[in-house]
């Protein structure tokens, strides 16, 4: 389960810092954040390696997967702030494999480009959460990974990243 109420205060603080440091706004960066979310999903998929049928190399370590996944959580939570929503995401077991789940998440996120509303964003969040469930990440692991990356993002702002 992902309770966005735990994430939103962290994300709001970071977003405001970034928007101020980079002289931009939430509205002006919405498509950028949706694009970034798609990129982060791709980075997660690349580290998971499930689609690489031609390779025998295993998936990256769980810590790497969690960090990549947390990157996407930052953008999803930021987008939730845009709509002033705090959904409680409870993924269910799926018969689909991780490649199909990844493609479902891509499709749901892309739908938000033309239909940025509560229904589409929650659907995208749920699709993204299905990946965490399929990878057997716990709520605690996700939150710890998120907070760790959140701290790194603040350091990056300190260093004018």
Q: Is the CB of residue 95 less than 8 Å from the CB of residue 32?
A: no
Question: What spatial distance separates the first Cα and last Cα of the chain, rounded to whole Å?
Answer: 32
Return all residues near 122 (Cβ < 8 A) that are at least 6 apart. Answer: 85, 87, 89
pLDDT at res. 80: 97
For 97-151, the three-class secondary structure string (H helix, E strand, C coil) is CHHHHHHHHHHHHHHHHHCCCHHHHHHHHHHHHHHHHHCCCCHHHHHHHHHHHHH
pLDDT at res. 2: 80
pLDDT at res. 57: 97
Residue 2, SS3 per DSSP: strand
Query: What is the mean pLDDT of each successive set of 10 residues along the chain, which is 161 residues long?
Result: 86 96 96 98 98 97 96 97 92 92 98 97 96 94 95 91 78
Which residue segments constitute the domains of the chain, with CATH numbers given? 2-158 (1.10.4010.10)
pLDDT at res. 133: 94
Phi-psi region at 49: left, alpha or beta (left = phi > 0; alpha = psi -120 to 50) = left
pLDDT at res. 20: 95
pLDDT at res. 67: 96
- Name 88's bridge partners: 3
Q: Is the CB of residue 38 less than 8 Å from the CB of residue 103?
A: no
């Amino acid at each position: 389960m992902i309770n966005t109420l735990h994430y939103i205060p962290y994300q709001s603080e970071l977003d405001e810092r970034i928007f101020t440091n980079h002289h931009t706004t939430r509205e002006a960066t919405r498509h950028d954040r949706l694009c970034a979310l798609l990129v982060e999903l791709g980075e997660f998929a690349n580290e998971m390696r499930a689609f690489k049928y031609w390779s025998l190399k295993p998936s990256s370590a769980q810590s790497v997967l969690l960090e990549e996944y947390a990157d996407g959580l930052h953008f999803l939570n930021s987008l939730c702030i845009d709509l002033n929503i705090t959904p409680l995401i409870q993924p269910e077991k799926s018969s689909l494999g991780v490649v199909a789940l990844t493609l479902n998440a891509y499709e749901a996120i892309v739908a938000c480009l033309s239909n940025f509303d509560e229904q589409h964003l929650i659907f995208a969040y749920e699709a993204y959460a299905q990946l965490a469930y399929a990878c057997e990440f716990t709520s605690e692991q996700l939150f710890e990974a998120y907070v760790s990356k959140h701290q790194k993002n603040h350091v990056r702002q300190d260093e004018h990243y």
